[in-house]
Chains A and B, each alone.
Chain A
Amino acid sequence: MPDRAHERAQTLDSAIEASLASLSLPSSKDLMAQLRTYLSRQEAEIHKGNNVHSILRKAESRARVTITLGPTFDEGPTDQHFHLESGARLSFGVNLREANGRCALVAYRFQLNLPESRTSSFYRFDLNREGHPTPLYEPRCHIHPGLEEVRLPFPALTPVEVLDRIFLVIEPELITAQP
């Protein structure tokens, strides 16, 4: 059975591709507003001094849009991160293809660096631009469970759905587990 692992991984990656094709997002302007509202509501609850309007940024080029929060690479806490109540910090980059007032996901990265007290230092949710020749090791959509070279398949979620997992699933556990 292990000798068919690559085949099974390819089947799973194909299913992710199919689900991605059916994911349709609103315009980049509307998605930006949704993300800004989502994070503003979180900040209104936790009062961590996150200035959502200054840290959520957008760049466009020839019908391709990049929405970013925080630094491109996490090298330690900055005032550009979104800081959560638990002490975790969030940065992300979402890449879109826009046409006729709608967007399709091209790629994304959501990096949640956990509080220092945790043994696992980060989670990162990645959607690659396209599939990899060996999806067993690099599924198109995956999560890094605190290890750069470990990528476990993950459903293709919309950016808001990723934030739901970060803020409503992971973060409450981080707070509960605080010493």
Chain B
Amino acid sequence: MPDFIGGPAFDIGRRLEIRAPFSWLALLGPTTDDGVAREDLATELGAVLEAPVRVVRYSGSTEALRSDLLNPASDPVIIWNLEIADAEQWSALDINRSGLVREGPVILWLSSDSLTLLCAHAPNVRSFLGGSIFLAGTSGDTMTAAERQQRISSLELHFHISSAEVIARAEAGNLPIEPHFVEWLVLLDRGDLV
């Protein structure tokens, strides 16, 4: 099973662009899912597809899901909370699969347990996915403390002044106006002085 660690949304988006319309895809989310990874994916995918991505919560009702998927039917959708579906509910989704077909791409956000149930009790939904089952990575784009410090050191070396002096000048209102000094303050966690 390929993974998209380091680049999930862009690769998914390109696959959906190539395969659209009526594309289905499954992503195995992280083990501890607080929703952040899912929301991040929706944001990233929206940028790739240049369309807002709707996040739909499965409530346990096939009819409710059908209504969500068809209103509207053309936008990209991520369906989550499928962990609550038992064997009977997966079978119900499978039996009513025709009613779930839509023009816009569908991404199933799954745990490994729910993927197992899907494969066992929803063979037709499984065929919608084909080979499009992937592991979701994380974007991990926030600078680490080490990265921040490396940039701070670079700034101190280049301008021959200390970070303390930069803060003092910012507080005094006489900091140079170049963009580097704004970055410097953010890196020092003194965005309040910008």
Contact = CB atoms under 8 A, between A and B. Distances in A.
Interface of A: 29-30, 32-34, 36-37, 40, 44, 51-54, 56-66, 68, 71-73, 93, 95, 97, 106-109, 126-132, 138
B143 A59 contact: yes
B43 interface: yes
A56 B151 CA distance: 14
19 contacts: A29-B40, A29-B43, A36-B10, A36-B47, A51-B6, A53-B139, A53-B140, A54-B6, A59-B186, A62-B191, A62-B192, A63-B191, A64-B182, A66-B187, A68-B183, A73-B158, A93-B180, A107-B177, A130-B177
Contacts of B6: 51, 53-54
Interface in B180-194: 180-183, 185-192, 194
Contacts of B125: none
**Most chain A CB within a 10 A radius of its CB, from B47, B139, B140, B180:** B47
B143 A109 contact: no
**Residue among B9, B143, B191, B192 having the largest count of chain A Cβ atoms under 10 Å:** B191
Nearest to A35: B47
Which residue, A71, A72, A131, has most C-beta atoms of chain B within 10 A?
Answer: A72
B186 A57 contact: no
A53 B141 contact: yes
Contacts of B47: 30, 33-34, 36-37
B147 interface: yes
B183 A66 contact: yes
B7 A33 contact: no
A73 B10 CA distance: 28
Interface of B: 6-7, 9-10, 13-14, 40, 43-44, 46-48, 139-143, 147-148, 151, 154-155, 158, 177-183, 185-192, 194
B141 A56 contact: yes
B154 A71 contact: yes
Contacts of A52: 7, 10
Contacts of A68: 143, 151, 183
Contact of B147 (A57, A128, A131): A57
B102 to A, nearest CB: 24
A30 B43 contact: yes
Contacts of A57: 141-143, 147
Contacts of B188: 61
Most A C-beta atoms less than 10 A away, residue of B44, B188, B190: B44
Contacts of A127: 179
Nearest to A57: B143
B7 A93 contact: no
Given A59-B148, A72-B154, A129-B194, A53 B178 contact: no
Given A33-B47, A57-B143, A58-B141, A108 B191 contact: no
Contact of A58 (B142, B155, B158, B178): B142
Contact of A95 (B7, B44, B151, B194): B194
A114 B48 CA distance: 28
Contact of A33 (B9, B140, B177, B194): B9
Contacts of B190: 61-62
A93 B183 contact: yes
Q: Which 5 pairs, one residue from A and one from B, show the smallest C-beta to C-beta distance?
A: A64-B191, A61-B191, A33-B47, A107-B179, A62-B191
